[in-house]
């Protein structure tokens, strides 16, 4: 491979590692290590055909697949030897299989599913050409059983297939499985089928002390669970289980592979059964239980933090999905949050730490101080960008406090400032800094300071010009009586200080970052109102003797 191709891969690896630090919004556990399974990747393993039957293709992991299915039978309280299943490519394939089976059994049936059902259901029903009716959801996400009852009553002459959700994607709601069965009884609907989509919930419910009814014990006919969600896998996967007597009725034999063709796809992933088997055997169900408990505790921590910011955060008692008011898109993009209408959610999967949540909360707080764009009206904006040595320099002729705006915008995007030097001169403001992700920082600044638009009418400075402008700024001339303030070294800290200064009407002449170490940052702030500044930050002031500090290298 060429050096360019190699470096492209390396860069991609670095990007993935970076993005994984802010992975709060999707229900995929990122905490795993399957490196002991690496050696299996050198063989063309393939699980084609029915996992329970011998096949002519011997390079398979059917044995592990069957072991796994046993574990899932136990977790879903299926009666022994009465369910059949296989390891799928994910929750979607499991739903597809469940509904396919139901259609083969009752071709004329209508499928009922809720407004909050996963988007895959709609698509699957179209693939299968099944008649369906969407049932209303209650505000907290569960299927509205009054609506289901009324709708079923009207269509009592046709068999009913209900696709219930155990853990809706957006709000984590569990549909009332026993309530649905009761409606079948009440209406004397003899021909019915109940499929459960338990993509995430299927690996949460088994570990709760008192889960709502959700599985075979509650009379369901089939269930789909994702493998890459709560368990975690580098390759998407899942499991589907269905009553064996149904599957036997529709199985078809295929001579070519010498086995029964009971699965949806032909060739099937043989590596993911190893992954799931390894996870369940190495972690063990006891530790899984602790892991799930930990997820719920982290969810409660997130709710506490969000409540302090008045974000209307809540969760169902059985779900690790925290629903709250939808924040601005700068936040949802940075933290990869899913949104629906005016709500957003974050999902405290095992890899989510309190520290990550603190950083997330800090970005939310920072954003509160950021007005809706544009921050600087075009008429007074002569801001321009230039860069040398990976630094970003922003020069504005505007009287607005440039550093407050810049630090706030960066904090909201979760970017940290690695080096900083900001001065207010008579002609305007200069912010010269180094950030951890320059590309993103430029994007954010363009968005919030409208620098992009200004480019059109004031030309960017060349690096020589910038260096010249900066060299004319005499830092020491503005830094007498500067104070040293200690901050937590994380996105948002500086923005908060700047906001406090603004709230107290304290004009800042200069700010520079002196040092960063062990989670602390030392910042020097010069102002004509040093006594007021001292009073506000009394608990964080280190000492104030700027003369002893090294000259800032621009």
DSSP 117: S
Stretch that binds ligand PLP, among 161-169, 263-271, 288-296, 470-478 (CB under 6 A): 161-169
* Shortest Å distance, C-beta 120 to ligand PLP: 5
Closer to ligand PLP by CB, 47 or 120: give it.
Answer: 120
Q: How far apart are CA 509 and CA 110, in angstroms?
A: 71
Whether 88 contacts 224, CB under 8 Å: yes
3 state SS of 485? strand
Give CA–CA dist 193/159, Å, rounded. Answer: 8
CB of 91 to ligand PLP, least distance (A): 2
Of the pair 61, 88, the CB lying nearest ligand PLP is at 88
Q: How far is the CB of 307 from ligand PLP (least distance, A)?
A: 25
**Minimum Å distance from CB 323 to ligand PLP?**
14
What string marks each residue from 52 to 91 as x (binds ligand PLP by CB under 6 A) or -? --------------------------------------xx
Give the strands of the sheet with 392-396, arranged side by side. Answer: 384-386, 392-396, 428-435, 417-425, 508-517, 520-527, 483-488
- Of 23 and 461, the one with the shorter C-beta distance to ligand PLP is 23
Q: Give whichever of 73 and 165 is closer to ligand PLP, judged by the CB atom.
A: 165
Of residues 213 through 242, those in contact with ligand PLP by CB under 6 A are 226, 236, 238
Binding to ligand PLP, residues 97-156 (CB under 6 A): 118, 120
Q: Which residues pair with 522 in a beta bridge?
A: 486, 515
Minimum distance from residue 224 beta carbon to ligand PLP (Å): 7
Among positions 171-210, residues that touch ligand PLP (CB under 6 A) are 197, 199-200
Kindly identify the residues of this chain, within the stretch 252-311, that bind ligand PLP according to CB under 6 A: none
CA distances from 410 to 7, 250, 258, 383 (A): 28, 58, 61, 17
Q: CB of residue 27 vs ligand PLP: minimum separation in angstroms?
A: 6
User: Which pairing describes strands 259-260 and 192-197: parallel, antiparallel, or unpaired?
Assistant: unpaired
All residues at 6 or more sequence positions from 165 whose CB lies less than 8 Å from its CB, including other chains: 113, 114, 116, 117, 118, 143, 173, 174, 175, 196, 197, 198, 201
Residue 92 binds ligand PLP (CB under 6 A): yes
Taking the CA atoms of 478, 483, 486 and 487 in sequence, report the sign of the dihedral they define.
negative
Record the tokens describing residue 315, joined without a space: 């969760």
User: Angle 402-412/354-368 helices, nearest 10 degrees?
Assistant: 140
348 binds ligand PLP (CB under 6 A): no
- Decide whether 340 or 515 has the Cβ nearer to ligand PLP: 340
Residue nearest ligand PLP (C-beta atom):
91
Residue 391 in tokens: 């630094």
The 8-class DSSP code of residue 355 comes to H
Beta strand 160-165 with 520-527 is: unpaired
Report 424-463 residues binding ligand PLP (CB under 6 A).
Answer: none
* Residue of 151, 169, 269, 405 that binds ligand PLP (CB under 6 A): 169
Binding test (CB under 6 A) with ligand PLP, winner from 165, 383, 396, 416: 165
Using CB under 6 A as the binding criterion, the count of chain residues that bind ligand PLP stands at 15
Q: Does 509 bind ligand PLP (CB under 6 A)?
A: no
- Which of the stretches 160-168, 315-323, 337-345, 359-367 binds ligand PLP when contact is defined by CB under 6 A? 160-168
Q: What is the 3-state secondary structure (H, E, C) of 363-408?
A: HHHHHHCCCCCCCCCHHHCCCEEECCCCCEEEEECCCCCHHHHHHH
> Least separation, in Å, of the C-beta of 365 and ligand PLP?
30
In DSSP terms, 339 is beta-bridged to 344
Min dist CB 205 to ligand PLP, Å, is 13
Closest CB to ligand PLP among residues 175, 450: 175
**Smallest distance, ligand PLP to C-beta of residue 116, A:** 9
Instruction: Please report how close the Cβ of residue 235 comes to ligand PLP at its closest, in angstroms.
Output: 11
By beta-carbon proximity to ligand PLP, the closer residue of 323 and 415 is 323
Q: Which lies closer to ligand PLP via its Cβ, residue 87 or residue 431? A: 87
Nearest to ligand PLP of 91, 350 (CB atom): 91
Alpha-carbon gap, residue 171 to 243, rounded angstroms: 29
Identity of the residue, 118 or 315, whose beta carbon is nearer to ligand PLP in the bound complex? 118
Stretch that binds ligand PLP, among 163-171, 369-377, 444-452, 539-547 (CB under 6 A): 163-171
The CA-atom distances, in angstroms, between 136 and each of 99, 140, 206, 314 are 20, 11, 27, 21
Beta partners for residue 225, in sequence order? 239
Closest CA to 441 of 467, 400, 493, 406: 406
First to last CA, the chain: 40
DSSP per-residue codes, 207-229: GSSSPPS-SGGGT-SEEEEESII
Cβ 220 to ligand PLP shortest distance, Å: 15
Give the residues lining the site for ligand PLP (CB under 6 A).
90-92, 118, 120, 165, 167-169, 197, 199-200, 226, 236, 238
């Amino acid at each position: 491979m060429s050096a360019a191709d190699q470096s492209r891969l390396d860069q991609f690896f670095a990007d993935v590692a970076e993005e994984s630090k802010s992975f709060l919004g999707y229900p995929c556990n990122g905490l795993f290590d399957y490196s002991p399974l690496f050696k299996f990747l050198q063989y063309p393993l393939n699980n084609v055909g029915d996992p329970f039957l011998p096949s002519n293709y011997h390079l398979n992991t059917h044995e592990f697949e069957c072991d796994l299915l046993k574990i899932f039978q136990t977790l879903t309280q299926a009666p022994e030897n009465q369910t059949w299943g296989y390891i799928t490519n994910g929750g979607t394939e499991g739903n597809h299989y469940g509904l396919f089976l139901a259609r083969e059994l009752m071709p004329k049936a209508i499928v009922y599913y809720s407004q909050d059902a996963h988007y895959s259901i709609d698509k699957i029903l179209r693939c299968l050409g099944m008649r369906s009716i969407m049932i209303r959801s209650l505000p907290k996400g569960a299927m509205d059983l009054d609506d289901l009852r009324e709708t079923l009553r009207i269509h009592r002459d046709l068999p009913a297939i209900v696709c219930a959700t155990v853990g809706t994607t957006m709000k984590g709601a569990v549909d009332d499985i026993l309530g649905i069965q009761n409606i079948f009884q009440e209406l004397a609907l003899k021909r019915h089928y109940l499929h459960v989509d338990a993509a995430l919930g299927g690996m949460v419910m088994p570990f709760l002390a008192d889960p709502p009814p959700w599985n075979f014990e509650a009379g369901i006919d089939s269930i789909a669970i994702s493998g890459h969600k709560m368990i975690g896998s580098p390759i998407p996967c899942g499991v589907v289980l269905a009553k064996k007597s149904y599957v036997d009725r529709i199985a078809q034999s295929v001579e070519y592979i010498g086995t029964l063709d009971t699965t949806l796809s032909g060739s099937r992933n043989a590596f993911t059964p190893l992954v799931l088997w390894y996870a369940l055997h190495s972690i063990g169900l006891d530790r899984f239980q602790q892991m799930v408990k930990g997820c719920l505790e982290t969810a409660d921590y997130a709710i506490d933090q969000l409540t302090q910011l008045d974000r209307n955060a809540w969760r169902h008692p059985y779900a690790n999905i925290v629903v709250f008011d939808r924040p601005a898109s700068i936040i949802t993009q940075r933290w990869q949050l899913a949104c629906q209408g005016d709500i957003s959610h974050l999902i405290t999967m095992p890899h989510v730490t309190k520290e990550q949540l603190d950083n997330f909360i800090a970005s939310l707080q920072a954003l509160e101080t950021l007005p809706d764009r544009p921050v600087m009206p075009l008429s007074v904006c002569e801001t321009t960008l230039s860069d040398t040595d990976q630094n970003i320099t922003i020069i504005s002729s505007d009287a607005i406090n440039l550093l407050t705006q810049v630090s706030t915008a960066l904090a909201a995007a979760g970017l940290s400032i690695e080096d900083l030097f900001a001065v207010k001169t008579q002609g305007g403001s200069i912010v010269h800094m180094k950030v951890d992700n320059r590309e993103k920082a430029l994007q954010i600044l363009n968005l919030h300071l409208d620098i992009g638009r200004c480019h059109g009418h004031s030309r960017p400075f060349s690096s020589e010009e910038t260096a010249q402008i900066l060299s004319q700024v005499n830092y020491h001339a503005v830094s007498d009586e500067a104070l040293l303030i200690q901050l937590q070294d994380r996105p948002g800290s500086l923005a908060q200080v700047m906001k406090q200064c603004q709230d107290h009407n304290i004009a800042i002449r200069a700010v520079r970052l002196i040092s960063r170490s062990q989670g602390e940052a030392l910042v020097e702030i010069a102002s004509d109102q040093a006594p007021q500044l001292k009073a506000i930050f009394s608990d964080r002031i280190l000492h104030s003797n700027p003369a002893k500090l090294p000259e800032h290298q621009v």
